[in-house]
Structure 1
Amino acid sequence: MDILFVRELKVDTRIGIYDWERQVKQTVLIDLEIAADTHAAAQSDKVEQTINYQTVCQRLVSHISASEVELVETLAEQIADIIRGEFAARWVQVTVHKPAAVRGTRDVGVRIERGKD
């Protein structure tokens, strides 16, 4: 199994359970690991034969920046659904980091896996 990855995709969105969090956009960081068979792309040297990182990132930025969820868990699930549904990934690991959400921490968040590895 081959793994495509994205580290620290930064997106501003409205996320949180408290009223003050709903008033301002906050930055979330997204890490992705996506299972894909990259053999055909490696042989052809054509991006059309693989999952395009740029397309994935553009789609996620569009979705996340427009979303208004309360929980990082909800956002992670939405991201996994997009990647599996729209990009035909059989497995994905999504980590959503919410920097400085809890005093005394660098960040908090959630990591989920969906699909067959």
Structure 2
Amino acid sequence: MSASPLSETPFPAPALAPKVAKIIVTKVFVRGLKVDAQIGVYDHEHGRVQPLVIDVELDVAASHCEQLGDTVNYETIRTAAQDIAAAGHIDLVETFAERLAQACFDDHRVTRARVRVEKPLALAPHAAAAGVEITAVRG
């Protein structure tokens, strides 16, 4: 009786295969960051703060991260968003998103930044939120 074709394997044993592929990009993200900002183009939006909900996803040229200094600290994203909000009135969420993306590029390891800024009250109660999402790449 001959052996079953299913019992024969043409592939090398798993022990011969590489154990770990080289990591080329680490994604660092913050989701649902809440920041109060003076933002908006309408008269009723001037002189008051509104909540923003921010998502940031960064591509970071980092691998084999063993210590906090090996990667981007989430706190720097939160601090940058708060600093932008504290700097004064901004007309557009697009401007806020662009400034936050630029702040993320202060870390030389960041190669791409995706920033989403939502204004939950912009179309309330007709919509859960309105906003913008941008993607920026290091030039």
Corresponding residue for 2:92?
Answer: 71
Q: Which has the larger radius of gyration?
A: 2
Corresponding residue for 1:50?
Answer: 71
Q: Match of 2:93, as an amino acid?
A: V
**Higher relative contact order structure (alpha carbons within 8 Å, sequence separation ≥ 6):** 1
Structure 1: where are the runs of 5+ without partners? none
Structure 1 ranges of 4+ moved more than 6 A: none
- Superimposed CA distance per residue, residues 44-83 of structure 1 (whole angstroms, 9 cap, x where no aligned partner): x210111011122122212223331111111111111111
Structure 2: where are the runs of 5+ without partners? 1-24
- For residues 57 and 89 of structure 2, the distance between their equivalents in structure 1, rounded to whole angstroms, comes to 24
Corresponding residue for 1:111?
Answer: 133
Corresponding residue for 2:120?
Answer: 99
Aligned residues: 112
- For residues 65 and 106 of structure 1, the distance between their equivalents in structure 2, rounded to whole angstroms, comes to 25
In the TM superposition, what is the alpha-carbon distance from 1:2 to its structure 2 partner? Answer: 2.1
- TM-score scaled to structure 2, two decimals? 0.75
Tell me the secondary structure at the aligned position of residue 46 of structure 2: helix
- For residues 10 and 65 of structure 1, the distance between their equivalents in structure 2, rounded to whole angstroms, comes to 13
Corresponding residue for 1:21?
Answer: 45
Q: Match of 1:87, as an amino acid?
A: D
- For residues 98 and 80 of structure 1, the distance between their equivalents in structure 2, rounded to whole angstroms, comes to 17
Tell me the secondary structure at the aligned position of residue 69 of structure 1: coil
In the TM superposition, what is the alpha-carbon distance from 1:39 to its structure 2 partner? Answer: 1.4
- Structure 2 residue corresponding to 1:81, chosen from 80, 98, 102: 102
- Structure 2 residue corresponding to 1:12, chosen from 24, 36, 41: 36
